[in-house]
């Protein structure tokens, strides 16, 4: 193998590793949400842990478990016009009621639509709020988290290009891979 091919492969591997690392941030975010179950929703997932939020640094899609949970509860409370403590309790009750008894099979993905609907229904009932309003609030919180993660990814990739760690083409390839769901971190 020529030296040029090895360098190109090394750079591509580095870009993928960076993308995977960035994806790990999103996965960590997801880790803050309850384990996938047939009734936990992804937006709910972020929001479920959110009760105590999302998976990412204070906002859905964030970077840490505890702080995000409180943030999601606060965001839902504001959007729904209800007491934050009630939202926190409703999220906690939903997580407990939908705690998986066995880990999901490798490579399987939960039905997000069903999970989102179950969470919205549970929260609506517990909080005495219209289910459509809860669904909209959860979708808005998830979208904000995704936008936040995309902006953070762009900032890190731009810095890697500036620092000479990646070429612009490599950074663009990582972004494209994340957006296509090939690498974690897009929240799609």
pLDDT in tens, 46-64: 433 433 333 334 333 443 4
In a domain, 90, yes or no: yes
In a domain, 36, yes or no: yes
The pTM of this model reads: 0.58
User: pLDDT category, 32, cuts 50, 70, 90?
Assistant: very low
Top-ranked range on mean pLDDT: pick from 25-34, 35-44, 69-78, 116-125:
116-125
C-alpha dihedral sign at 71, 76, 79, 80: negative
In a domain, 150, yes or no: yes
Q: Which of 79-83, 94-98, 104-108 has the lowest mean pLDDT?
A: 104-108
Angle at 81 between CA 77 and CA 84, to 5 degrees: 30
Residue 145 CA to residue 184 CA, distance in Å, equals: 14
Q: What pLDDT score was predicted for residue 14? A: 54
In a domain, 14, yes or no: no
Number of domains in the chain: 1
Domain assignment of residue 141, given as a range: 23-100+108-179
In a domain, 10, yes or no: no
In a domain, 62, yes or no: yes
In whole angstroms, how far apart are CA 185 and each of 74, 101, 143, 188? 24, 27, 13, 8
In a domain, 15, yes or no: no
When pLDDT is averaged across residues 39-44 and rounded to a whole number, the result is 38
Other beta carbons within 10 angstroms of residue 19's beta carbon come to 24
In a domain, 38, yes or no: yes
């Amino acid at each position: 193998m020529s030296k040029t091919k090895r360098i190109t492969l090394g750079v591509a591997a580095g870009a993928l590793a960076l993308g995977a690392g960035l994806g790990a941030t999103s996965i960590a975010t997801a880790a803050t949400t309850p384990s996938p179950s047939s009734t936990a929703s992804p937006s709910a997932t972020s929001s479920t842990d959110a009760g105590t939020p999302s998976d990412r640094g204070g906002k859905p899609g964030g970077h840490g478990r505890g702080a995000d949970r409180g943030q999601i509860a606060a965001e839902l409370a504001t959007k729904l016009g209800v007491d934050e403590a009630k939202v926190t309790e409703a999220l906690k009750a939903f997580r407990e009621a939908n705690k998986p008894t066995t880990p999901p099979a490798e490579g399987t993905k939960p039905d997000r639509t069903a999970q989102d609907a179950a969470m919205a229904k549970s929260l609506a009932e517990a909080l005495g709020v219209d289910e459509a309003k809860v669904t909209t609030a959860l979708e808005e919180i998830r979208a904000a988290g995704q936008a936040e993660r995309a902006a953070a990814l762009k900032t890190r990739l731009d810095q890697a290009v500036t620092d000479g760690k990646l070429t612009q083409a490599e950074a663009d390839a990582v972004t494209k891979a994340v957006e296509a769901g090939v690498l974690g971190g897009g929240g799609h």
